[in-house]
A and B are shown apart, each in its own frame.
Chain A
Amino acid sequence: MIDPAVVEGLETFIRERILEGEEIGLTATTPLLDLGILNSMEILSLIAFIESRFRVAVPPERILADNFKDLQTIAGLVTSLGGATA
């Protein structure tokens, strides 16, 4: 189950902090790596956000392209790590 609140939290962070407020209409399946929205630097700040916001640790071996391809898969990663939105 993908938690829509997690998707929304991730979307807000990417839009406000990574895209610096640029409104580009991200959807849950916009390919973030293929479109160069996330690169190695940006993934680092996204992971720092995930760890503090959802109170999880993202182990290095889970930092795979397959886990970061779009908002939906990142949200799936957060959920599988036991991330909480409350």
Chain B
Amino acid sequence: MRCRAEATPAALAVVGPDGSFTYGELDLLARRVACWLAARGVGPGDRVALWLEKSAVAVAAMQAVLRCGAGYVPIDPLGPPARCRAILADCAVAALISTERRAAAVLTDELGDVPCLATDGHAQGRRWQEALAAPGEEPPAPGDAGGDDLAYILYTSGSTGRPKGVAVSHRNALAFTRWAEAELAARADDRFANHAPFHFDLSVLDLYVAFQAGASVHLIPDGHSLAPGRLVSFVAEQCPTVWYSVPSALVLMMEHGGLLELPAVPLRAVLFAGEPFPVKHLRRLRERWPGVRLLNLYGPTETNVCTFFEVGDRAPENGAPLPIGFACCGDRVWARRGDGAVAGPGEIGEAIVDGPTVMIGYWGEAPLAGAPYATGDLVRVLADGGFEFVGRRDHMVKLRGQRIDLGEIESALVEHPAVREAAVVVGGSGLSARLIAFLVSGAVPPPSLLALKEHCAARLPRYMIVDRVRVLDELPRTGTGKVDRLALAARLAAEGRHQEAIR
């Protein structure tokens, strides 16, 4: 970004709901914020949390943190303060960049004196940017922050009931963004749409591939996802050349926003990741936009992107799932069978990833130290050596592209005084999938759905709030004493048939 600011200071860098910055302007604001951070002792190895709505200012804040040699921690702007507080404490942040109202909601005595920069604040009658530092002032050099140092931490759902921090180094991130830049042949006249929130790893491509190429990134405000029509208007107005999102967003835009009715779009590549793209919709996309590259990327947050598949001139036939394809970014990917051997064509195994995109480790745990990462995803090896996603080994699910560990919801539910045991399963599929909680409650009457939703909303991100509750006398168990999730799923299916019969 700094090189771009020197080479093309007048080129457009970021367009957000709060305004646009050229590379020169972005660099100036990042430098000022970096000076503010450095003056508060932030340096290499530190973590700085960003709890901000998606905005051009938030992009400058990320750049500022990196410039200090520290790592940034983007936190879900729609999440509850309790979750933000847990994250601030977990990675012991050296500073917080947020707004005054948000900061007041999270900074408690237990967190000590975490310095907070409020991006809506005023000091001595000046707006916060002007109060930061003299324009000419330079932050101290970040010392010897190298490729293996922390770049950012992304918190994902964790089975233990606490969010887990995926710590990513500069080397990890660059292995991915450099691959993507070359694969897309990104150019300075590209316009990248940024759909994903900043705490979601899809945003890494939008921001950093754009900056590497000297292109512009166009931020889709957090609220737009509610209205597919607004997302389609965004495409019509901002004219992105590269789009990257979860498939659900594209399907909603096609089905309810009129995406495919847009007369002409300058898009040259549409990328998607996070969940399987329904082939029925993919075929329509391919037929409507024959000249647009369609790329299916795969990889858990822990490995950035480690495989990709390019949809050819013809989309796969209905019924055949879209492959996740072949290893990329310099990674080696293989499927490990239950007996430890490498799976061959036609066989299923757990996807194992070894290479430059594999994270440093989970924050607070021993680093992986270069060991391969076992994803927990089951994949089938195809005849051509590529892979196809089959499912999960554990209780992690994807709902509309959001990764959810059901154990984390269950842990939150049993914190409720009237909940003794809880098991959560997913009912339905695709866009109509719902989180169903089966509970054992000692209370009469048992807690209401509203009460449980309020309880979840105070602890979990919005996409992890339970949709339905069923109270049981006891949870069905398997012979080994584990909750019998298949029996719960069968119960839901029977309920569905009953409802159909009533209709």
Interface residues of A (CB under 8 A from B): 19-20, 22, 24-26, 30-31, 33-37, 39-41, 43-44, 60-61, 63-66, 68
Which stretch of B40-48, B160-168, B226-234, B285-293 is in the interface? Answer: B226-234
- Give the chain B neighbours of A39 by CB distance below 8 A: 463
The contact sample of 18 A-B pairs, CB cut-off 8 A, is: A24-B448, A31-B457, A33-B462, A35-B453, A35-B454, A35-B465, A36-B457, A36-B465, A39-B463, A40-B228, A43-B226, A60-B227, A60-B233, A61-B230, A61-B233, A63-B226, A65-B222, A65-B226
Whether a CB of chain A sits under 8 angstroms from the CB of B432 is yes
Whether a CB of chain A sits under 8 angstroms from the CB of B354 is no
- Give the chain B neighbours of A26 by CB distance below 8 A: 450
Contact check, B432 vs A41: say whether CB atoms are below 8 A apart: yes
The residue on B at minimum CB distance from A34 is B457
Beyond A40-B226, A60-B229, 14 additional pairs, beta carbon < 8 A: A20-B468, A20-B499, A25-B450, A36-B462, A36-B466, A36-B467, A39-B463, A40-B227, A44-B252, A44-B256, A60-B233, A63-B229, A65-B226, A66-B223
Whether a CB of chain A sits under 8 angstroms from the CB of B471 is no
User: For the complex, what is the distance from the CA of A36 to the CA of B455, rounded to whole Å?
Assistant: 12
Whether a CB of chain A sits under 8 angstroms from the CB of B119 is no
- Give the chain B neighbours of A25 by CB distance below 8 A: 448, 450
Q: Which 10 A-B pairs have the closest CB atoms?
A: A60-B229, A63-B227, A36-B465, A24-B450, A35-B453, A24-B449, A65-B223, A60-B230, A41-B431, A60-B227
Contacts A35-B454, A40-B225, A44-B256; A22 near B468 (Cβ below 8 A): yes
The residue that A44 contacts in the complex, of B228, B450, B468, with Cβ under 8 A, is B228
- Cβ distance B245 to chain A, nearest Cβ, rounded Å: 13
The residue on A at minimum CB distance from B453 is A35
- Cβ distance B216 to chain A, nearest Cβ, rounded Å: 23
User: For the complex, what is the distance from the CA of A31 to the CA of B450, rounded to whole Å?
Assistant: 10
- Give the chain B neighbours of A40 by CB distance below 8 A: 225-228, 252
Contact check, A63 vs B457: say whether CB atoms are below 8 A apart: no
Question: Would you list which residues of chain B between 412 and 467 have a CB under 8 Å from chain A?
Answer: 431-432, 448-450, 453-454, 456-457, 462-463, 465-467
The residue that A30 contacts in the complex, of B230, B450, B463, with Cβ under 8 A, is B450
- How many residues of chain B get a CB closer than 8 Å to chain A's CBs? 27
- Cβ distance B430 to chain A, nearest Cβ, rounded Å: 10
- Give the chain A neighbours of B222 by CB distance below 8 A: 65
- Cβ distance B103 to chain A, nearest Cβ, rounded Å: 20
Interface residues of B (CB under 8 A from A): 222-223, 225-230, 233, 252, 256, 431-432, 448-450, 453-454, 456-457, 462-463, 465-468, 499
The residue that A22 contacts in the complex, of B229, B449, B462, B499, with Cβ under 8 A, is B449
The residue on A at minimum CB distance from B223 is A65
User: For the complex, what is the distance from the CA of A34 to the CA of B466, rounded to whole Å?
Assistant: 12
Contact check, B462 vs A34: say whether CB atoms are below 8 A apart: yes
Contact check, A35 vs B432: say whether CB atoms are below 8 A apart: no
User: For the complex, what is the distance from the CA of A22 to the CA of B434, rounded to whole Å?
Assistant: 14
Contact check, A64 vs B226: say whether CB atoms are below 8 A apart: yes
User: For the complex, what is the distance from the CA of A35 to the CA of B432, rounded to whole Å?
Assistant: 17
- Give the chain B neighbours of A24 by CB distance below 8 A: 448-450, 453
The residue that A63 contacts in the complex, of B230, B432, B456, B465, with Cβ under 8 A, is B230
- Give the chain A neighbours of B449 by CB distance below 8 A: 19, 22, 24
User: For the complex, what is the distance from the CA of A22 to the CA of B495, rounded to whole Å?
Assistant: 14
Contact check, A35 vs B450: say whether CB atoms are below 8 A apart: yes
- Give the chain B neighbours of A65 by CB distance below 8 A: 222-223, 226
User: For the complex, what is the distance from the CA of A41 to the CA of B252, rounded to whole Å?
Assistant: 8
User: For the complex, what is the distance from the CA of A36 to the CA of B453, rounded to whole Å?
Assistant: 8
Of A37, A44, A66, most buried by chain B (CB within 10 Å of CB) is A44
- Give the chain A neighbours of B454 by CB distance below 8 A: 35
- Cβ distance A20 to chain B, nearest Cβ, rounded Å: 8
The residue on B at minimum CB distance from A65 is B223
The residue on A at minimum CB distance from B466 is A36
- Cβ distance A42 to chain B, nearest Cβ, rounded Å: 10
User: For the complex, what is the distance from the CA of A22 to the CA of B451, rounded to whole Å?
Assistant: 13
- Cβ distance B227 to chain A, nearest Cβ, rounded Å: 3
User: For the complex, what is the distance from the CA of A8 to the CA of B222, rounded to whole Å?
Assistant: 29
The residue on A at minimum CB distance from B464 is A36
The residue on A at minimum CB distance from B461 is A36
- Give the chain B neighbours of A63 by CB distance below 8 A: 226-227, 229-230
- Cβ distance A65 to chain B, nearest Cβ, rounded Å: 5
- Give the chain B neighbours of A35 by CB distance below 8 A: 450, 453-454, 457, 465
- Give the chain A neighbours of B453 by CB distance below 8 A: 24, 35-37
- Cβ distance B32 to chain A, nearest Cβ, rounded Å: 31
User: For the complex, what is the distance from the CA of A86 to the CA of B224, rounded to whole Å?
Assistant: 32
The residue on B at minimum CB distance from A21 is B499
- Give the chain B neighbours of A36 by CB distance below 8 A: 453, 456-457, 462-463, 465-467
- Give the chain B neighbours of A66 by CB distance below 8 A: 223
The residue on A at minimum CB distance from B80 is A34
User: For the complex, what is the distance from the CA of A20 to the CA of B500, rounded to whole Å?
Assistant: 12
- Cβ distance A78 to chain B, nearest Cβ, rounded Å: 16
The residue on B at minimum CB distance from A38 is B226
- Cβ distance A3 to chain B, nearest Cβ, rounded Å: 24
User: For the complex, what is the distance from the CA of A19 to the CA of B469, rounded to whole Å?
Assistant: 11
The residue on A at minimum CB distance from B449 is A24
User: For the complex, what is the distance from the CA of A47 to the CA of B317, rounded to whole Å?
Assistant: 34
The residue on A at minimum CB distance from B225 is A40
- Cβ distance B432 to chain A, nearest Cβ, rounded Å: 7
